[in-house]
Amino acid sequence: MTRRFLFLAVLMILALPADPARRGPVLPAVRLILTLSVDQMRPDYLARFKPGFQGGLARLLREGAVFPRARQDHALTLTAPGHSTLLTGMVPGHTGIISNNWYDRSARREIYCVEDPRYRLLGTDRPGGSPARLQVTTLGDWMKREDPHRKVISVSGKDRSAILMGGQRPDGAYWFDSSTGNFVSSTYYQESYPHWLQEFNSRKWPAAYFGRTWERLLSDHQSRSMAGRDDFPHEGNGRETTFPHRFESKSGTPDSEYHLFFMGTPWMDAATLKLGEAAISGEALGRDPKPDLLALGLSATDSIGHSYGPDSQEILDQLVRLDRFLGNFFAFLDRTVGLDHVLMVLTADHGAMPLPEILQLRGIQAARILYDRDLEGLEARLAEKFGIANLVEHISANQIYLNRRAIKQSKLSASRVEAEAAAYLKGIPWVQSVFTRTELEGRPSKDPLATSFLHSLHPENSGDVFFLQKRYHLFSGGTVGTSHGSAYDYDANVPLIFWHPALRAATYSEAARTVDIAPTLAQLAGVAAPGRLDGRPLNLQLREKPKTEKAETRAEKGRVRRLPGLSGLPGQKWGTHATVFGESVPPGPTAFRRGGEPFDLR
């Protein structure tokens, strides 16, 4: 019996439907399930920047089922593990996707979460990718199990986001390729690109912005009222920290350097949403009574957040523009599918820590730290204690991988070596907490922190000792930007909003986890979910008196007003100024101006 057969057999067992008696109410006429994952979106953005919203985010806040206490319930809050939870209902310790990269003991090297040498990017000799390392199924797979004709499409700026949300067998998973400026896919999914994707790529959306500048959409007064000053020295590359940011490259052409810069602007999300529109039209999504699934990973907030931080005017401008882009996308949905037939959710894979220097100005203890130098003595400590060298095999992503072969050959107790490594780590000034594999596997804990590390623990992929830095201590090799990855609330808390016209608009006080998203969507759409999930369906309330007018009338009444000039992509009619806070503001791409200050991409 081959390993692949065993893997598929386990997936089939895990995918057995839940007891029908546990099924809750099903929403009427759901034809399209839409998942919107905004990479690195902190939930406080929805409150802080709300005065600047008037499009899609405003509508979701006004009409959606909002869960302010939602979080990623695992310790290593990174893009891949976060996305692996969204549509599986399982924690990373069960999905197998514990990090973006992890150490493979058999290969004796770090591996990337979606790498797969068996496949290539379509039309190239370059490595492709697949969901082979995802050890569970997704909502799209459950839908396909019931009816193989249901369509499942996943699109994102990042390959790992598209692949992990798409599941085992979607009809397509597409992501942005910075080498070419095109959206691409892997031979795992298909042998050639669909016509609608070829037509989209032929327009060369990123190149159309070359030579322009990224200006603020809001006025200086409005921006300063919701974000920090624009010239903070620890943003960007530490030099060019203020608007405008010029779309350019050192070569003077829209090359790979330029495409990387483009990925860190709001128009990366505009392009992703525009490709979502092309997929809806090209694949005829949402055109029959049985629901299809479209998962969109909006990656620009992550790139901008890493460079400028949560308090920057750049992240404010990104969210305000995303609000407009979503408003236009919802208007497209209304014209094509009809919003009465769309069940959607908006969430994120993780949050982010504020810049340490901003926290310091607020009187909060914060620091940038390098853990390599402080962990250099661990190997010597273990060698001195046990008389054996090379007991540390690898260190990455807050984990110590011990040399299991050497421990076994020397007939040492693995738990003793773990405990000694933990004792060393606890003596490092910036270390807050340490957990060993033996401790985590030994007994259930009521400690939420220990539980979050348990949810990141995989039998093979994880290390043997986990460590957590002190609050507001950022692993950083430089003096600019920020990141995420810890179990603290600023990294783990995420937005969560469900929307459907039959759902009651409300703010729910109960705690929610991202593993609850898939079972909730499945229940609402009438899809049988597996019986063994880490998440649970959330108890959403229906409208007390549902509207009775015809669907097309409701769609017309609920249609999002298309904001002039804010479609975000070239080839559109830009129109005139929009009004924000009663002031005239240049809309969308008309805010581009030539001759702005150069922006050095690092």
C-alpha span between 456 and 441 (Å, rounded): 12
User: Tokens representing 80?
Assistant: 């891949």
C-alpha span between 276 and 269 (Å, rounded): 10
User: Tokens representing 125?
Assistant: 């000799």
C-alpha span between 182 and 204 (Å, rounded): 7
**Catalytic site residue 213?**
no
* Closest to 311 (Cα-Cα) out of 241, 215, 244: 241
Contact call for residues 80 and 160 (beta carbons, < 8 A) = yes
DSSP line for 431-499: EEEEEEHHHHHHS--S-HHHHHHHTT--TTTS-SEEEEEPTTEEE-SSSS-----SSSHHHHB---EEE
Query: How are beta strands 32-38 and 65-66 bridged, if at all?
Result: unpaired
Preceding omega of 244 cis (within 30 degrees of 0): yes
C-alpha span between 428 and 392 (Å, rounded): 17
Contact call for residues 537 and 519 (beta carbons, < 8 A) = yes
Going through 28-67 in order, the beta strands assigned E by DSSP cover: 32-38, 65-66
- Phi and psi for 214 in degrees, rounded to 5? -90, 110
Burial class (CB in 10 A: 0-12, 13-18, 19+), 267: buried
* Closest to 170 (Cα-Cα) out of 134, 123, 221, 124: 134
Going through 218-369 in order, the beta strands assigned E by DSSP cover: 245-246, 292-298, 342-347, 367-369
- What SS3 class is residue 275? helix
**For residue 213, which amino acid is it?**
T
Determine which one of 2, 35, 77, 79 is catalytic.
Answer: 79
Contact call for residues 337 and 331 (beta carbons, < 8 A) = no
DSSP line for 333-370: HHHHT-GGGEEEEEE-S---PPPHHHHHHTT---EEE-
Burial class (CB in 10 A: 0-12, 13-18, 19+), 266: buried
Residues with a known catalytic role: 79
